[in-house]
Structure 1
């Protein structure tokens, strides 16, 4: 069953006030040859769990040769169970570079690490709180750079996004949804010097807000989905159902061999977001473990396949709704209203695919418009074939395909059409 996550009209109106003109292909295409890196920019300082002062730093990636001075910003937050990991890790840097080439300014931040081992629920909860306070300081740092410092990084503060992997997913979720002081678990000692400052913390750049427009959660979790009440921050979640590090649904979180506390993973976050009418997209990666994109280009492609249109629907202010299917469906986002809806429905109705099931070859025909590209995704969400077509007809050779279920995605007139294919 496909799940359509609709946004009320008034929310779309608000989004459009802060949208950008994306007609040049910025944010959707690789407009730039690479990215220019500025390392170790200090955005704050604070005490770690042992009382030691820690300088908080970020790396900044800007599109090479770009002259635009109001660009959307994605802040990436690394994983590592709050005891290890780095802003230069494989779970964040490839994504930061990928989106800088599309015209975003991207940043990967450090945050305070560490907790007592063996950890308790209190230790772990306070580690998440410290990291979230640091992420808030990073957001405030960028907002101050625009308001007070002449916008040296060329960013648009109405289009700031967080994307976190594993522990970084925890941080993104808690920044977005743990936004009231009365929601903070009583087990967290906000009088501790490393946790002072309440929700916002004291990691740097006070007197600026730390809210963001939307978040991306990759294999993270939240302490309690009830914190999502009265909050409309859009969220994209990707999570492997075989994840043994962070629960896919609601279950016990473990660190090393120690069970710490129950948390709500991406599946539970999706259910709550649906109940609260929060725009969300949930990509369940079946048969997959923890953060596979950090070591697999195929799964990195899966992340960007969902993340790119999700962000486009926010940055560009277009009336796009994420369409995600469980267990697996590569359909991402496409317009669902106005003339765009009619175009999509007409194209979808006229696309012919035959035979299906198929053994050797499958044929695609679309009389009214040429098919621009075709890609094939397997049942685990891996992109196994991609090609440019620019023709009304195309043939997919199945010689090297194993038997099973696949999804074929075709782009036509900036629309995305998807078909389920069974290979015998």
Structure 2
């Protein structure tokens, strides 16, 4: 039968499409999606969850109400602190990582309802996390100057600014303790509670890790009226340190606070930021109050550049995303609010970078061992976290269990794939080529009288019975190639470099191949 060019092309096209389908099907089917992509159609929200009560400043200056400036700090009012909690709709996992999102606003403005915080909560909840956006106390005290009852000036000094931060820090710590106390109710893994903050929220996130000693707290916090210790607010009896931090355009009081703290940190910042400087500079330096006699003197902050430098000098691993010539909140918001046309392209970039960063912290590392006896193979899950395992045995059959036994219909080389998950249902996959069947541990195409001795051995073995030069490849029991020896003849084979264990020696030339078991002793 004569085959035309068109028929050849159609056959090639069908083959290509079929192969692409097989490749894509395998890749999509094997990929562990939870936590790295949106796998839930929607999130459920529990609104107005009270996590603590705290004394709010309650002596606002009418002239400065839009800036949340109060006359002094002596007058306060006890009010609730609220969070909104998001979770994946229809999810059945009960040990989920949690992310607490903290809004921007310079400790003067903003709420848990900031649009970027709500969008981030929804996005990460649909990836499988429990998320929460929190209110914390905002507002600053000021010294007010009057002339015959008329305000002629006001001064917010560094002490007022620090106390504003300190109150918010107390609240943020209370939010962690609340989630730990109620972890069972919300399905949270208390060992994986992360902070994710923007601007002022990023400052809170960073300081949570590094401001960890009473001696490091500025004395302004204890001036009258004293604000108390960092854990005065909310429930007690639970740790308040985050297990990882994402800080978008944040800063630190001083880099020396870092010491040797190694909790994972992700820093994002625009190099032209004029609100929270990328390097060292005055916080909220761009705020202009349209009354010349009102002064806002806040402390200097050490931005992400300084934090990154300090972490590098201490050789502490961390991740950064710094964008040249970009300003504050460069993912397309203004004090947490979206423009009419929504955020810009940096929004998606920030989400996938921070999503990958957090997932890497708790994703298990999959691995397995195999023990072959003729056509029967026993697969053992040896991943970094042993919880659940799904197997693809490479012969169109699958199995489950951390130890799985499988009988093959015929000998051969099979691609074995393990998907290993931890209790958070964070998963990883690994595939290995495994040779199984009657040939395992015996000659596949026997050489005449071939043997290894001594066996077991600790320094040298001799391979006898070879009639020609061969190549010897040494594999461990996981199927990993350890070493290759070419042009080997009868004589001593040095194995001193091998660790104690069981190995497979593949011995072959152009016509023949044998696979023998070798036991290496101390």
Q: What TM-score, normalized to structure 1?
A: 0.66
Q: Secondary structure at the match of 2:356?
A: helix
> Which residue in the other structure is 2:194 paired with?
161
> Which residue in the other structure is 2:169 paired with?
132
Return the offset for 1:304. 1.1
> Which residue in the other structure is 1:32 paired with?
40
The 1:174/1:308 distance shift into structure 2, 3 A limit, reads same
The 1:191/1:143 distance shift into structure 2, 3 A limit, reads farther
CA–CA distance in structure 1, aligned partners of residues 31 and 191 of structure 2: 19
Return the offset for 1:191. 6.0
Runs of 4+ in 1 over 6 A off after TM superposition: none
The 1:178/1:191 distance shift into structure 2, 3 A limit, reads farther
CA–CA distance in structure 1, aligned partners of residues 131 and 37 of structure 2: 16
CA–CA distance in structure 1, aligned partners of residues 258 and 164 of structure 2: 20
Query: Higher mean Cα deviation, 104-113 or 181-190?
Result: 181-190
Cα contact 1:29–1:102 (8 A) shared by 2: yes
The 1:44/1:291 distance shift into structure 2, 3 A limit, reads same
Q: Does 1:264 align with 2:302?
A: yes
Report Cα offsets for 1:187-238 as digits up to 9, x if no partner.
3326635x21x132x2111111111211000011111111111311211011
Cα contact 2:162–2:299 (8 A) shared by 1: no
Return the offset for 1:143. 0.7
204, 215, 231: which one aligns with 1:171: 204
Q: Radius of gyration: which is bigger?
A: 2
Q: Does 1:110 align with 2:140?
A: no
CA–CA distance in structure 2, aligned partners of residues 91 and 30 of structure 1: 17
Return the offset for 1:277. 2.6
CA–CA distance in structure 1, aligned partners of residues 115 and 165 of structure 2: 21
> Which residue in the other structure is 1:284 paired with?
322
Q: Secondary structure at the match of 1:277?
A: coil
Return the offset for 1:317. 4.5
The 1:62/1:190 distance shift into structure 2, 3 A limit, reads farther
> Which residue in the other structure is 1:208 paired with?
238
> Which residue in the other structure is 2:443 paired with?
none
CA–CA distance in structure 1, aligned partners of residues 31 and 259 of structure 2: 35
CA–CA distance in structure 2, aligned partners of residues 278 and 86 of structure 1: 33
Q: Secondary structure at the match of 1:213?
A: coil
> Which residue in the other structure is 1:46 paired with?
54
Report Cα offsets for 1:335-381 as digits up to 9, x if no partner.
xxxxxxxxxxxxxxxxxxxxxxxxxxxxxxxxxxxxxxxxxxxxxxx
Cα contact 2:266–2:319 (8 A) shared by 1: yes
CA–CA distance in structure 2, aligned partners of residues 168 and 244 of structure 1: 17
Task: List gaps (5 residues or longer) in structure 1.
Answer: 1-21, 320-424
Task: List gaps (5 residues or longer) in structure 2.
Answer: 1-29, 58-74, 143-154, 289-295, 367-522
What's the RMSD between the two structures over aligned residues?
Answer: 2.0
78, 84, 92: which one aligns with 2:103: 78
> Which residue in the other structure is 2:263 paired with?
233
> Which residue in the other structure is 2:348 paired with?
301
> Which residue in the other structure is 1:9 paired with?
none
Q: What TM-score, normalized to structure 2?
A: 0.54
